[in-house]
A and B are shown apart, each in its own frame.
Chain A
Amino acid sequence: MTHDPFTPRPDEKDMRDAYCDALIAAAEADSRVIVIDCDLSNSLGTGRFHARFPERSFNLGIMEANACSMAAGLSLTGFVPFVHSFAVFTSRRMTDQIFLSCAYAGLNVKLIGGDAGVSAAVNGGTHMAFEDFGVLRSIVGLRLFEPTDNTMVRALIPHIASRYGVDYIRMPRRSVIKIYEPGETFMPGEAKQLREGEDVTLIASGVMVSEALIAADLLENEGVHASVLDCFTIQPLDTAQIVERAQQTGCVVTAENHNIIGGLGSAVAELLSERAPVPLERVGVKNVFGEVGPQAYLMDRFGLRAKDICAAAHRVIERKQR
């Protein structure tokens, strides 16, 4: 396989701005789409939605539990509420409300978790969600997304707005490394294959996708051919493709901006241990709390770099050969 080496370039906009564009577009197309904020509109970038659709925007204040159950009530009357808070609060303050008022009650609520993982940066450990997918993944019927870049955000939001059910979308607020060209299409639940290679499969999500692509290039220089999957739907997992790649390459490395317990790595491990038990390593936060610092520092600190993915790839390849 030959391909151009990956050159990391940042997206032109902060992801929150691309998100708000997409939400406004969704609301223009569908009068049921409404916004609920919990006093984090400025941080999460929904201000332009409030300005464009004042009658469809509600800043309820710092009351996440109430916001979530109210959203459920609103959806009962036919609206499609998008509820916003930081990922730490959307997942932890609303857990029981997401379970009962939204999921168990069979309603239609869209939950946004901002400042995902290390992107919480200088807000520090109290605000750094490494467990949000873990908290929400065992709630029946939820779909969990981690959009990779602005192109994907723009593609996913209309789909999420139009499909009935409870969805959770975790996002960073700032601009991230651009992966996709405009016009790229995405199927929720289908991982995107970004590289083909027969030696090892790298399965990544969120900010770790660009690290996985850099890792694939580094491995290529050493003669190791890596397959790279962008697994932006954590639930439902793309089981067919993950099993197929695992069988083709015989070993797997996952990479996530999340605790290795409960998120993408856990989901892949659960799947493969039943369906295709191959050597696997999980790159991610190793069950420790977050802390303050610039995102780059935190990615080094928690081992979320291409070099960490490469090292894990070498280990699984070696285990495979034993």
Chain B
Amino acid sequence: MAQSDAITRLSADIRIQTIRALEQAGFGHIGGCMSVADTLAVLYGGELNIRPEQPDWPERDYLVMGKGHCGPVLYAALALKGYFPMDWLNTVNQPGTRLPSHCDRLKTPGIDMSTGSLGQGLSCAAGIALGLRMQGRSNRVFCIVGDGELQEGQIWEAAAAAEHLHLNRLILLIDENKRQLDGYVCDVCGGDPAEKFRAFGWNVVRVCGWDTDAILHEIRAATEQAGAPSAIVLETVKGMGASFAEHERNNHYMVITKEMAVEAVAEIHRRLSAGTYPAGEVV
């Protein structure tokens, strides 16, 4: 299998496992989980320098899931990489679980930072990047944020600080799925994230958020950047890949029945066979 095929397969598995996990839980943040599945497949499909058997390996690349409500899609990727047994995914949000709805570094192997209050993750990632640089290490620090999350003032504090400190090993992945909890970002409080981060002195590119080759290319390019941190704006579609969510106006957080999940998984397989995965007819 070519590397890009393997990444596509991994992204499909991440989606399928996420859908199943959320269906087990009965509900969840399906929209924002689906839109970053392809990026996670690129990261965990070989790009991240990690050791799943040693989650706290000091030389690893770090990942902070700023939009902590999308923990489940990250858990799917971590389970598929062998950080913990696959059957943990059946316990998402169950009492006593090690996979809570929002990322928790003390509960889940492979989760580098606890998040869930939007806006804090980028600062945490900047702190990690600064600490690593002070130790003379060159690990990369990735941070995934939502486009709604960019409304938080703390994001722009972190953007200014990371640029001032020349944290070039910090790579921000912005899931521009155009929606937040209450609707469209442009209706709530919008603006072009690329222009904003450029104005803050960052290296910025836009990329199709499910074109895994392009994402990989941009991550590699960001890795070569000297001087300033990088932001990659992932142009995504919220809910893409979970058929029941794709045509829902409110797909931020949905009740997910067994039937919905079964049909969504079947649709993923149909799209894979038809060569239209993950978008299908959505775009």
Contacts and interface: CB of A to CB of B under 8 A. Distances in A.
Contact of B126 (A34, A55, A56, A73): A73
Contact of A97 (B113, B120, B130, B160): B120
B26 interface: no
B92 to A, nearest CB: 19
B124 A76 contact: yes
Of B129, B153, B161, B165, most A-chain CB atoms within 10 Å: B161
Interface string A49-87: 000000110101101011011111111111100000000
Interface residues of A, number: 29
B131 A77 contact: yes
B70 to A, nearest CB: 16
Given A60-B161, A61-B160, A69-B124, A74 B130 contact: yes
Contact of B127 (A55, A76, A100): A76
B127 to A, nearest CB: 2
Nearest to B137: A77
A100 B64 CA distance: 14
A78 B131 contact: yes
A77 B128 CA distance: 6
A105 B157 contact: no
A69 B127 contact: yes
A205 interface: no
Contact of A63 (B117, B120, B160): B160
Contacts of A66: 123, 126, 154, 157-158, 161
A101 interface: yes
Given A73-B123, A73-B124, A100-B114, A65 B135 contact: no
Contact of B131 (A63, A79, A97, A106): A79
Interface string A17-38: 0000000000000000010000
A62 to B, nearest CB: 9
A100 B131 contact: no
Contacts of B112: 76
Interface in B118-149: 119-121, 123-132, 134-135
A75 B105 CA distance: 13
B105 A70 contact: no
A75 B125 CA distance: 11
Contact of B120 (A58, A60, A61, A96): A96
A47 B114 CA distance: 33
A261 B64 CA distance: 37
**Chain B interface size, under 10 / 10 to 19 / 20 to 34 / 35 or more:** 20 to 34
A164 interface: no
Interface in A139-181: none
B131 A65 contact: no
B130 A73 contact: yes
B105 A105 contact: yes
B193 interface: no
Nearest to B121: A69
A96 B165 CA distance: 24
A101 B130 contact: no
A70 B113 contact: no
B105 A71 contact: no
A61 B131 CA distance: 18
Contacts of B120: 65, 69, 96-97, 100-101
Contact of B113 (A58, A63, A74, A105): A105
B106 interface: yes
B117 A76 contact: no
Contacts of A101: 113-114, 120, 123-124
Contacts of A99: 117
B123 A69 contact: yes
A74 B141 CA distance: 12
B151 to A, nearest CB: 14
Nearest to B68: A100
Nearest to B125: A73
Contacts of B132: 77
Given A100-B114, A105-B114, A106-B105, A77 B157 contact: no
Nearest to A71: B127
Contacts of A297: none
Given A61-B161, A63-B157, A63-B161, A70 B116 contact: no
Contacts of A58: 130, 165
B154 A106 contact: no
Contacts of B212: none
B153 A65 contact: yes
Contacts of A73: 64, 113, 123-131
6 contacts: A65-B157, A66-B157, A66-B161, A70-B130, A77-B127, A78-B131
Interface of A: 34, 55-56, 58, 60-61, 63, 65-66, 68-79, 96-97, 99-101, 104-106
Top 5 closest pairs, chain A to chain B, by CB = A73-B127, A77-B131, A69-B123, A66-B157, A70-B127
Interface of B: 64, 104-106, 112-117, 119-121, 123-132, 134-135, 153-154, 157-158, 160-161, 164-165
Given A61-B160, A73-B113, 13 more contacts: A63-B157, A65-B119, A66-B126, A66-B158, A70-B127, A75-B127, A76-B128, A78-B135, A79-B131, A101-B124, A105-B106, A105-B124, A106-B114
